[in-house]
Amino acid sequence: MTAIDTPTDPTTVPDLIDTVARVRATFASGRTKPLAWRKQQLRALRRLLIDHEVEFAQALRADLGKSATESHVMELGFLVREIDHTLRHLDRWLRPRRVSVPVSLMPARARTVIEPLGTVLIISPWNYPMNLALAPLIGAIAAGNAVVLKPSEVAPATSAALAHWLPKVLDAEAVAVVEGGVPETTTLLEQQFDHIFYTGNGIVGRIVMAAAAQHLTPVTLELGGKCPAVVEPGTDLATAARRVAWGKFMNAGQTCVAPDYVLAIGRAADEIQAHLSAAIREMYGENPAKSAEYGQIINERHYERLTRLLADGRTVVGGEHDRPTRYIAPTVLADVDPESAVMGEEIFGPILPIVRVPDLDAAIAFINRRAKPLALYAFTSSAQSKRRLTHETSSGGLSFGVPTAQLGVLGLPFGGVGESGIGRYHGRYSLDTFSHTKSVVDKPLRFDTLRLAYPPYTRNKDRI
């Protein structure tokens, strides 16, 4: 048994209250504000991710059956890139910005100053348990905050690894990791924070927002929903199918930005089926259960939920499942009724329904009748269709020809809209999320040019 397998003592309510108080005191001491502290913490985190990649990948494998490649690309490597990007630009992002002042206020100077919010709470989910805990942490540290991080108890090996390692390499008085589930999170949410950053489902998102309202604490909610992949006929359906399958079945479909369903226009609904089957075979072999690249369902509850959805259409490929290994094959369902359960909830698993609509108008109406998605994908070669989808629908992100890639572009914000979330982060946007932009005006007292503005307001004064 390694150190990180050792079960930790249950955290008591007074422990949690003390932890938050300690972290708040560290912020109040000013320790987290200097740029040198922030950069040193980010470099320490970077070293940890590189030096202990194998260990973290093992935790991810234990929780999700994640392959080493997916762990690198979507979690550890992603985080190292995010740190590098942040370190490269942080000085510039933090530079005060001069703003011109109106003539009536001259002489005076105006500028914006970016300051940390204070002590922030980050609550993260299980599906990318490293990425979704540490990507916000990078932004919070870069902005000079103290942090309480609550990883997901649903990915216990990764949660334990984070609780073990972060205090060893980071300033443990300023960054605390609290393990636990609903009771611990509920206690944390009762404490005062200066920002709460939550990633997970919308039901808990509402609980977080209601708790935050008690202290008037701002929130970022990174939520989910159903991300459509619109497919038009007359495009390269073989490539489209490969890309949809790649985005859908990585992490066994447990990805917030995975294409949730294919919204196929006309004959594309029939034509894409064989291509999807071929793509799945190419990626995971004849029997994906044997593939080292293919993940497992996180727990019994989700396994149960997902297997119930398998009957909601005609199985084109897949459908096999095995409870002991929590395996559900990459599955494509055709002829799916838009009113069926599989189209009513976010699937968050390896089941890909194909819904047929007659034309682009119907596809746009279909999307707009439902909650705004976290991501919208479209596979089309028509510039006109791209224009229409861009301007006639609303979603957190929009990507043509490739799913999930919006996360790989460091300069783009990541976040939802409407039911898919509130706020955005990554890179510069993380700094904005975890900072306050303060307006500063500096007017010398030496010449009182404001005299004309003081009461009593004479007619002459009215004219200035």
Q: Is 256 a catalytic residue?
A: yes
- With contact defined as beta carbons under 8 Å apart, do 221 and 212 qualify? no
- From the CB of 183, what's the least distance to ligand NAD, in Å? 9
Q: How many CB atoms lie within 10 A of CB 301?
A: 10
Nearest to 133 by CA among 105, 166, 86: 166
Nearest to 400 by CA among 415, 414, 413, 381: 381
- Give whole-number Cα distances, 108 to 105, 254, 449, 462, in Å: 6, 54, 10, 22
- From the CB of 282, what's the least distance to ligand NAD, in Å? 27
Q: Of 60 and 114, which has the nearer Cβ to ligand NAD?
A: 60
Which residue in 179, 256, 271, 346 is the catalytic one? 256
- From the CB of 443, what's the least distance to ligand NAD, in Å? 44
Q: Of 264 and 347, which has the nearer Cβ to ligand NAD?
A: 347
Q: Of 191 and 199, which has the nearer Cβ to ligand NAD?
A: 199
Which residue in 75, 179, 184, 222 is the catalytic one? 222
For residues 374 and 376, what is the distance between their CA atoms, to the nearest angstrom?
A: 7
| Structure-token match 């942490």, residue found | 137
Q: Of 132 and 245, which has the nearer Cβ to ligand NAD?
A: 132
- From the CB of 146, what's the least distance to ligand NAD, in Å? 19
- From the CB of 155, what's the least distance to ligand NAD, in Å? 7
Q: Is 227 a catalytic residue?
A: no
- From the CB of 257, what's the least distance to ligand NAD, in Å? 7
Using only C-alpha atoms, the chain has a radius of gyration, in whole angstroms, of 25
- From the CB of 426, what's the least distance to ligand NAD, in Å? 10
Nearest to 425 by CA among 219, 225, 234: 219
For residues 148 and 189, what is the distance between their CA atoms, to the nearest angstrom?
A: 11
For residues 205 and 224, what is the distance between their CA atoms, to the nearest angstrom?
A: 10
| Structure-token match 């199918």, residue found | 241
Amino acid at 293: E
Nearest to 299 by CA among 394, 180, 185, 157: 157
Q: Of 64 and 256, which has the nearer Cβ to ligand NAD?
A: 256
Contacts of 393 (CB under 8 A, 6+ apart): 364, 367, 368, 376
Contacts of 19 (CB under 8 A, 6+ apart): 148, 176, 178
Q: Write out the residues near ligand NAD by the rule CB under 6 A.
A: 123-127, 132, 150, 152-154, 181-182, 185-186, 199-201, 204, 207, 222-224, 256, 346, 348, 374, 416, 421
- From the CB of 410, what's the least distance to ligand NAD, in Å? 16
- Give whole-number Cα distances, 207 to 211, 228, 424, in Å: 6, 27, 19
Contacts of 363 (CB under 8 A, 6+ apart): 230, 263, 265, 357
- With contact defined as beta carbons under 8 Å apart, do 179 and 8 qualify? yes
How far, rounded to the nearest angstrom, does the alpha carbon of residue 99 sit from its chain's CA centroid?
33
Q: Of 144 and 205, which has the nearer Cβ to ligand NAD?
A: 205
Q: Of 153 and 173, which has the nearer Cβ to ligand NAD?
A: 153
Q: Of 201 and 239, which has the nearer Cβ to ligand NAD?
A: 201
Residue nearest to ligand NAD (CB): 224
Active site residues: 222, 256
